[in-house]
Structure 1
């Protein structure tokens, strides 16, 4: 092994040897001094000072009975100190990570993760996060940032160890210097002595000794070759007159060879210039491919520094490439902060990491991405490439496909239920009709039967009226007709035949539906007791839309009633309930939006909101069929789209999209 090392050093270049010596010197010095010193300091701090300080700080906070008492006793934190620690800042955050209280220097950010990332990049302060539980049962998250007074830790023992380590480093550097003298200076001095001997005594027979096979060794070979050539030419000069003709011929041959060499050099220069142009064109071609890709491409160094930021990344993040290159990925694109462990795993293991679905907040909008992280192993680099594909539209489309399949399966169930309900319902209505006829005083048969029994129809009528029997019969009749309408809708719901569409003014249709919805009891109560605000926004010039007016009115009224019921039962996080009704044109669709500022819904509820029989209302207040039937009307009868976007405490927005063209339009 030692012989191989000596052989390698003998054949190495001088620049490589210099670089090796410099690197060795720097590594030895830095490794011994910095590593040992900081290891001692780090050990002393973390084993003796920091745990006690953080524990005492947490104990002091948890001894307070309430958050208000913490505010009043924050100045007493100066008593909880260590000789080697100085508190820079103490901040408190709620469950959402928002700042609610701070002590010390003003924080750079009001969000827990951003402030923690700031202190991680700031090497002058150490951040620590710990959970705090007060006596009153409340919970908070605290972030303490502090630094160390290093001079208190540098006692005589540490100084003695540092001096010993420094002496060892100096000794190693001296050894390296002696070795460098052996490698570089001695061969140069030897070559200088030989040169002086040649120039002073005109002795061309001496030769320099070659020790190493580096640039100095090559210089020795060239010098010896030059001496041999000079010695040979010295002999040739004596024969110059005899060889003049041959020398002239050699000169002419050399001139011709030089001319040919110049021509070859010119040709090589032209070829090289053409190759450079091709390389530049190929580079532009590659950049065009990268920037034209619909995916977001980011290349990172092992230290998470950005080296590639394509056009799609600029569009999604609104950050130009010039402001992103050479910056950390978590500073430029904070959404990737929670996936840096996958970046490290891909870099360290050389394997591709995948995330099928990641939820990001971009410009206040929730979008979904698939992430692929792969290393550049084959190119010999340690960089990592992150490829992000926006799958928001695909995710929504998948949800719509699943919803359509559910609605198709509901058709058979609706038909069976309608037929089963229709038979007893017909008997109920027929018997109610017969009951009404037999209680009517105008029929002769009723008068005759009453007289045979010794009764009068007037007395019977007064009895029935005093017992509110006619009102009960009317209620039965109205309930029966309502059941008939429900059965009719269910039968229509189950049919596959397309109804006939007519061109309608979508704005007038929406206004009419709103007027009908205003008569509902829920709307009246909200407007009287909670100051409900209904804002309307209509875009002029929208073409006529092919639709079934009664069905679209039914869908809009259903959405308005649902919004009013949510605001009536749960109120609005903003205080004042509000419904925004919007009609606009988007591409080839007329768009109707019903948006409220209620409590909203989580992602799990949002995916089930169009399922048959799914409802969030109390038992007896809803069947769970309103939105599913509305979805069927829009998707099946009108070939449109019905979708919802919502987040907790941010309201909900239902969007209806109706196409302007349909093959089933009947022009009037």
Structure 2
């Protein structure tokens, strides 16, 4: 049965070209869809803030602020960030598309418009929005089997979108990173050469004029030359860190959704930890979360690495949330927040990954429900209840493995993943 999308809300068309507005209006009107029009980014933002549409068709090239900037502002506003945006553009290059997706767009419609394509894409994204909004109500009325199907769909969409976004960011980072790292070695040579030249001048002309002597003293030349070396070392260290992050992003975003590959799961764990570094760091509310790794000698495992990375991300993010909550509730006293990761091969020749924390733990009555779709122990607005159910689907259904949890309130929680190597 088709979802009725013509009786709720409206589509906002943003374009400064009357011909484009006419074509899009005719396409939407022919399907009985309600729509409104804005001719530039500023008026579009004003309209959206007054009356939120269900979907925005946004032209990229407009006077004033362009479509990319309009999208950025809408996604930066918590009130409007959830509205799906489809870019309409004649720009077909990969960089433009990547930029659009990285800003949060859900799709592209190329110009010149084909009416059938406009209608098809608009219908798909309006239907997806309605399905997302009504997911909780639907689940309460459907069977567990249907719940699992819905979770799989969400999982595939989430992995695909996340993979595209992260791959786009990593791609955008490559050129500036390469520029910096490739120019540091010659810059070091140039500075060393200039420093040596100054030393030679000092030896050959030990009695400079008063003007030069004053300038050298004001400049504090010796300190400057020493500090230049330190600054360059800092640049090199920083660029190496960014390169490592870029590599981690590329490793994490490998979806490989249709093909299993033999991979080193330790690389997946490490790349996920690198992405989560900002959440592990200390802040004013809590000390840094310590991560201890006890990696065994593992063979390469035949798996969907992008999906396994999603499992690691969901479980590690949950562990961080549990530690944050324990500290907020004052339940850790003088304990240091910790996450422990251990890997090994068990007697059944399965790879075992254990991820544990010393957070608040989960009561026994709730522990058995952790893998249920839409079940969450977090406050409203803090969790979707899909993270662990998605992890369960990936480990158990996709990899013929097991995902178990052990927990004691006030002591901590440990998740154990076991998957075959073949």
> Which of the five TM-score ranges fits, normalised by the shorter chain?
0.3 to 0.5
**TM-score, normalised relative to structure 1:** 0.29
Greater helix proportion:
1
